[in-house]
Chain A
Amino acid sequence: MATQVFKIPDSFKKDAKYTFCPGCDHGVAVRLVGECLSELGLTENTIAACAIGCSVTIYDFLNIDALEAPHGRAMAEATGIKRACPDKFVFTYQGDGDFASIGWAESMHAALRGEKISAICINNTTYGMTGGQLGPTTLVGQVTTTSPTGRNLEYYGYPIKIAEHIAMCDGTAYSARVSLDTVANIKKAKQAIKKAFEVQIKGLGLGFVEILSTCPTNWKMTPQKAHERVQNEMIKVFKPGVYKDITVEN
């Protein structure tokens, strides 16, 4: 008798079909979020604050109540939702430009206040939906539509290390960076998301996960080559790991 070892989580809408580009890791990240919501029994008690960019489409796939925030304001809206309804599970799903550029003040201050929310940030080193412009995480040397000869320090300065910064905030309960380049790392990513959800449920503070992700379309690479880039370039600058976990430190 065969046992089922994989299914689409029940947090997904019936017949949900992604609108992401072929090979985009967003699809994996959204599925992991959906799996964690299902496994922790949170789906029916969740209100999400969705960002602008490819990440906003999460509300088309998951069967959860959601509020679309203006660009960069998801953490502020999540704060408002959680303060109004402390018994609801509240999370944001944002891109790096949304979370760490236009919304950096909202992100940092939510962490400093120790808002009891969870935040998932996709780091794919570019603005994906707008067509591959330079973002806060674009690597030094990386060619984008607005860094045609590559990111040089003279003009553009350095990329931001999000998980490390969020970990420095005293209100953060958990901050980790994970990657989706291998199946083993996808499994680790799921554990991190679950942890970021659990610290909220326990009322410990902000739970944060930065997910290194691919954008094959704007990187102009096959999905396979895109994962190689994550391994060969991104992971060297954005080191995966748990940067803060107060459940362990205590």
Chain B
Amino acid sequence: MSHIIIDKSKCKACYLCIDECPKNLIKISNDTNNLGNRVVEFQDSKNECLGCAMCATRCPDLAITEVYRG
């Protein structure tokens, strides 16, 4: 099952990843991290993630640490 892993402590809330996801699976969450940022979260209840890794390729902060496909 394709999915991504987000290290929320590294997210700086630039939200560039949100624009990249072709399935709109990354959203702004209600959580904040110790940087005070409204971090992103991965929501994929219908298993739509393609494992394309475009989000991780775009992320400028190494916050999307792992992507799995298949």
Interface of A toward B, CB cutoff 8 Å: 1-8, 12, 16-18, 20-28, 31, 183, 186-187, 216, 223-224, 227
Q: Give the CA-CA distance A88 to B17 in the complex, in Å.
A: 36
Nearest-Cβ distance from residue A201 to partner chain B, whole angstroms: 25
Q: Are B12 and A23 in contact (CB under 8 A)?
A: yes
**Chain B residues within an 8 Å CB radius of A22:** 12-14, 37, 61
* Residue count of chain B within 8 Å CB distance of chain A: 31
- B56 & A6 in contact (Cβ 8 Å cutoff): yes
- A selection of 13 A-B contacts at a CB cut-off of 8 Å is A2-B3, A2-B51, A2-B69, A2-B70, A4-B66, A6-B56, A22-B13, A23-B12, A26-B60, A28-B57, A28-B60, A186-B57, A223-B14
Q: In the docked arrangement, what's the CA distance between A183 and B3, Å?
A: 18
Decide if B54 is an interface residue (CB 8 Å cutoff).
yes
> Which residues in A have their C-beta under 8 angstroms from that of B3?
2
Q: Judge whether B60 and A20 touch: CB under 8 Å.
A: yes
B58 touches A24 (CB 8 A): no
Known: A22-B13, A223-B14. A5 touches B68 (CB 8 A): yes
Q: How far is the CB of B60 from chain A (nearest CB, A)?
A: 3
Closest chain A residue, CB of each to CB of B1: A2
- Measured between beta carbons, the chain A residues less than 8 angstroms from B28 are none
Look across to chain B and name the residue whose beta carbon is closest to the beta carbon of A6.
B67
Q: Does B29 contact A (CB under 8 A)?
A: no
8 A Cβ contacts from B13-52 to A = 13-16, 19-20, 37, 51
State the majority secondary structure of interface residues on B.
Answer: mixed
B66 touches which of A6, A28, A31 (Cβ 8 Å): A6
**Chain B residues with CB below 8 A from A21, complex form:** 12
Q: Tell me how many residue pairs across A and B have CB atoms closer than 8 Å.
A: 81
A197 to B69, CA, bound (A): 29
CA A20 – CA B14 in complex, angstroms? 12
CB distance from A118 to the nearest CB of B (A): 22
Which residues does B use to contact A, with CB under 8 Å?
Answer: 1-4, 9-10, 12-16, 19-20, 37, 51, 53-54, 56-62, 64-70
Contact A5 B69 (CB under 8 A): yes
- Complex CA gap A20/B63 in Å reads 13
B20–A18 CB distance below 8 A: no
Please give, as numbers and ranges, the residues of chain B lying within 8 Å of A183 by CB-CB distance: 20, 54, 57-58
Contact of A17 among B10, B20, B67, B70 (CB under 8 A): B10
Given contacts A18-B10, A22-B61, A223-B15, 10 further A-B contacts (CB under 8 A): A2-B3, A5-B69, A6-B57, A18-B61, A23-B14, A26-B60, A28-B58, A28-B59, A183-B58, A186-B57
User: Whole-angstrom distance from the CB of A187 to the nearest CB of chain B?
Assistant: 7
Known: A1-B70, A22-B13, A183-B57. A6 touches B62 (CB 8 A): no
Contacts of B37 in A (CB 8 A): 22
